[in-house]
């Protein structure tokens, strides 16, 4: 029978899973580069500074005028990107301005978005106000959603958009498909392919506008709520399926390659169910509050960023082991074994079971949440024991 001491004496278990989960979470599906983490009330990368590798940053005010030779993932209240990014860029913020060059794809979710620079790849945008100004360019496809959308730049390929008011007044090289409350095609618009749009009224096409392909207009009431709901449900199913497959693969891998250490975790967590449930519940609520308090101080902000990523990684690990724990418990009850056995069979049984349980309204969420908190608390307990034993 595996003892909990076996787990405590194996720091590679925690380091391997923590690193693998963290790296998979923040880099998939891009290649793994060196990572530069920066956080604070205000983060600035001045002109002339170069970040070699990926940059992950969070700040109240974020100004990037230098270069990033990798991917950029940024979050902030006000984000201004004046420099160049070699690969993909993902931004979450209140107000976002992109004035530099993006070498890969650009994905933004923000309240107000202004694009003045160039994007070599695709552009995916969701915001309250979305403006692609004259002089901006996008080499790939554009997918966007916004309350007010203004497109004056050069879009090299197709455009798919949904918005309240959509105004096009620039070049669009590929087919255009819109769903909007109002469509305006300005005098400088140059649509080089077909236009298909769904709206309550016909588009306002101003004198001087050029549309090379055919125009297809479909009358809808408002924003065509049925279409929107079908799209949301389709995305939900896609993400649910992807999450299931990723969790199942991760569970099988840890059960096969880290079987003894996984056995130690489950053999501790389930017999100490009540204690670890309480620990997991408290830590799940307390640590995010502590991270927030650390973020408001200049000194504590970097530590808060690292702690937050570790907390998130532990959550990802706990999701995988939630299904494994349920599978091990069920196999022990069915086969009437004396101990919990963690094998690939436990993962193959438990992870699909956990996803099926989640489909049961209310009760399914509660059951999985309880097992999640038990594993979550056990992971932190083992981590603290590891730290104390290494001191």
The radius of gyration of the chain's CA atoms, rounded to the nearest angstrom, is: 25
How far apart, in whole angstroms, are the C-alpha atoms of residue 163 and residue 161? Answer: 7
Neighbours of 108 (CB within 10 A): 23
How high does pLDDT run on average in the chain? 81
CA angle at residue 388 from 312 to 317, to 5 degrees? 25
Question: How many residues appear in the chain?
Answer: 391
Q: SS3 helix, strand, coil % of the chain, rounded to 5? A: 45, 30, 25
Q: Specify the pairing of strand 67-69 against strand 118-119.
A: unpaired
Neighbours of 386 (CB within 10 A): 18
HEC per residue, 117-154:
CEECCCEEEEEEEEEECCCCEECCCEEEEEEEEEECCE
What pLDDT, on a 0 to 100 scale, did the predictor assign at position 66? 96
Q: Is 381 helix (H, G, I), strand (E, B) or coil?
A: helix
Rounded to the nearest 10 degrees, what angle do helices 11-27 and 363-390 cross at? 130
CA dihedral 327, 328, 330, 334 (to 10 degrees): 130
Q: Which residue in 374, 377, 332, 363 sits closest to 350, CA to CA? A: 332
Distances (CA, A) of 305 to 32, 37, 39, 296, 312: 20, 8, 7, 11, 11
What pLDDT, on a 0 to 100 scale, did the predictor assign at position 303? 65
Give the chain's residues under pLDDT 70: 1-34, 39-40, 221-243, 289-304, 387-391
Q: Which residue in 189, 112, 204 sits closest to 155, CA to CA? A: 189
Tens of pLDDT, residues 292-319: 666 555 455 666 677 777 778 888 889 8
How far apart, in whole angstroms, are the C-alpha atoms of residue 221 and residue 202? Answer: 12
Q: Which helix (H) or strand (E) holds 285?
A: helix 273-295
Q: Which helix (H) or strand (E) holds 371?
A: helix 363-390
């Amino acid at each position: 029978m595996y003892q909990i001491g076996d787990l405590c004496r194996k720091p590679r278990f925690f380091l391997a899973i923590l690193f693998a989960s963290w790296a998979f979470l923040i880099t998939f599906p891009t290649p793994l580069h060196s990572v530069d983490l920066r956080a604070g009330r205000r983060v600035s990368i001045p002109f002339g500074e170069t970040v070699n590798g990926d940059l992950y940053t969070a700040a109240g005010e974020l100004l990037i005028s230098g270069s990033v030779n990798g991917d950029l993932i940024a979050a902030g209240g006000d984000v201004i990107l004046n420099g160049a990014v070699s690969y993909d860029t993902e931004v979450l913020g209140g107000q976002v301005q992109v004035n530099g060059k993006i070498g890969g794809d650009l994905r933004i979710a923000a309240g107000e978005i202004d694009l003045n620079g160039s994007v070599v790849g695709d552009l995916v945008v969701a915001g309250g106000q979305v403006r692609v100004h004259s002089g901006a360019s996008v080499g790939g496809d554009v997918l966007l959603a916004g309350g007010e959308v203004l497109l004056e730049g050069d879009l090299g390929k197709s455009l798919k958009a949904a918005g309240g008011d959509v105004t096009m007044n620039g070049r669009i090289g590929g087919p255009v498909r819109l769903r909007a409350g109002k469509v305006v095609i300005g005098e400088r618009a140059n649509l080089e392919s077909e236009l298909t749009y769904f709206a309550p009224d016909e588009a306002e096409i101003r004198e001087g506008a050029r549309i090379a392909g055919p125009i297809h207009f479909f009358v809808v009431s408002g924003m065509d709520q049925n279409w929107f709901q079908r799209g949301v449900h389709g995305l939900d199913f896609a993400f649910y399926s992807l999450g299931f497959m990723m969790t199942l693969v991760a569970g099988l891998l840890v059960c096969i390659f880290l079987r003894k250490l996984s056995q130690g975790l489950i053999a501790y967590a389930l017999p100490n169910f009540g204690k670890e449930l309480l620990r997991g519940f408290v830590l799940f609520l307390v640590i995010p509050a502590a991270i927030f308090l650390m973020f408001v101080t200049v000194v504590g902000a970097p530590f808060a960023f690292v702690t937050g990523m570790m907390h998130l990684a532990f959550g990802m690990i706990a999701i995988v082991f939630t299904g494994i724990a349920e599978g091990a418990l069920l196999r022990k009850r069915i086969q009437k074994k004396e101990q919990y056995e963690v094998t690939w069979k436990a993962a193959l049984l438990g992870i699909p079971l956990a996803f099926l349980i989640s489909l049961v309204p209310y009760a399914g969420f509660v059951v999985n949440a309880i097992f999640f908190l038990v594993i979550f608390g056990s992971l932190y307990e083992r981590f603290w024991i590891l730290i104390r034993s290494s001191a």
